[in-house]
Amino acid sequence: MFWRLWWRAISVRRPQAALALGSLVVGAAITSMLLNLYSDVRRKMTEEFRAYGANVVIAPAVAGTAGASADVMDEASLLPLAEVRWQAPGTAVVPVLYGVVRVWRQPADPRLPEFDDVVAVGADFGALRRLNSGWRVAGETVSADLPSGACAVGSHLAARLHVHQGDSIRLQCLGDTSHAGGPIPQAFRIGAVLTTGASEDDQVFLPLAPLQGLLGTSGKISLVELSVPGDAREVERVVHRLAGLLPASEVRPIRQIVYSEGKVLGTIRWLLLSLTALILVIIALCVMATLTAIVLERRKDIGVMKALGAADALLMRLFIVEGAALGLVGGLAGFGVGVLLARDLGRRLFGVALNLSWWTLPVVCVLIMAVAVLAAQAPVRIVRAIQPTVVLKGE
């Protein structure tokens, strides 16, 4: 009997029910749109921030620590990083070695300077490029590391030496400036020319092992660059975990990147929550007014039901279930509309195709049902106040 009464209550007063349902659909659509926009825009903004490079650096412990070296550390000491990469999927780890080398153009050109002293960087060049996706590389496409016997040079250094992709240069450790009695400079073919707009344009890049051999620092690295996914709090948690796993090293976030990202994402989160709350309040007021009008039109029906023995609790439950049903239908319909709006806005405003976030479906439905149930509280109080004798007399 209860469900028959519930169905009749919805189906008989169709215009009023349709108005309440339309309000809930609008609220669900806007909420779904904002949640889907935030979810995917947050992910894409995090990817964009990754283009600025590493957000965490592991460096040798400061000088003065027992057993610590001031400029290099052992590769073997970084084995605990495997645990962090397993616990934080998507973390990129790139060991890097820095050293100063002397560069000669090969063959020599008497019209150009004989040599240049530059910073050499030893690392997996492909991993560095993925870590710094804003770098522009002209020459060979390097999908993993540089080929054997190859190097990459910064665009400014290439311009000073008048070299291009395919040419050769010779590198020698800066301490070994004498050809007689000193190691013979090693020749490398230029596989790529790098443009970054930063200090890397004046550097030369080698695979890690060849630079270690050139500098005589086998098994040593200068630091480790990490790109940790997530917001500022997640990055800080990884930093604390790394500090515990690597007590002999200094682990520090690159705060300009971490906190800039956190501030932007925090602003977006605050804007999303504020807009969603404002919209839901407006929708709740609209639904409350509509349900109140429905209750006032049904005063005689409610009076008859009370005269026949219907308890206030039954009638109140009837209106609350009616509001929840409208909220569920409105949430499901509005979710689909919101997804379409989010994709359209993502394409128009951000120029990207947003992905559907399925976790927003139950969130939207629960929020809209809660709004409908809360909006039904005022009409429910009117139901309790209706007196059958007064209503049936026509007063």
In sequence order, what E strands does the chain have? 56-60, 73-74, 92-106, 115-122, 136-139, 150-154, 168-173, 186-195, 203-206, 220-221, 223-227, 249-253
The pLDDT value given to residue 295 = 78
The pLDDT value given to residue 115 = 76
Pairing outcome for strands 150-154 and 186-195: parallel
| Rounded Cα gap, residues 28 and 128, in angstroms | 44
Confidence of residue 63 (pLDDT cuts 50, 70, 90): very low
For 96-110, 207-221, 238-252, which range has the lowest pLDDT when averaged over its residues?
Answer: 96-110
Question: Contact, 109 vs 159, CB < 8 A?
Answer: no
CA atoms within 13 A on the CB side of 238: 30
State the average pLDDT over residues 240-254: 86
Residue % of the chain over a pLDDT of 70: 78
Confidence of residue 271 (pLDDT cuts 50, 70, 90): confident
Phi, psi of 359 (to 5 degrees): -65, -20
Q: Which of 177, 162, 168 is nearest to 111 (CA)?
A: 162
Query: Residue 385: in which H helix or E strand, if any?
Result: helix 377-385
The pLDDT value given to residue 302 = 76
Whether the per-residue pLDDT at 288 is higher than 50: the answer is: yes
The pLDDT value given to residue 68 = 41
The overall average pLDDT reported for the chain is: 79
Please name the residues in contact with 191: beta carbons below 8 A apart, sequence gap of 6 or more. Answer: 139, 140, 142, 146, 147, 150, 151, 152, 165
Confidence of residue 153 (pLDDT cuts 50, 70, 90): very high
Question: Which amino acid, one-letter code, is at 329?
Answer: V
Confidence of residue 155 (pLDDT cuts 50, 70, 90): very high
Tens-digit pLDDT profile for residues 314-369: 777 777 887 888 888 889 999 989 888 888 877 776 666 677 778 888 999 999 99
> What is the model's pTM?
0.59
The pLDDT value given to residue 8 = 57
Confidence of residue 3 (pLDDT cuts 50, 70, 90): low
The pLDDT value given to residue 46 = 60
Confidence of residue 5 (pLDDT cuts 50, 70, 90): low
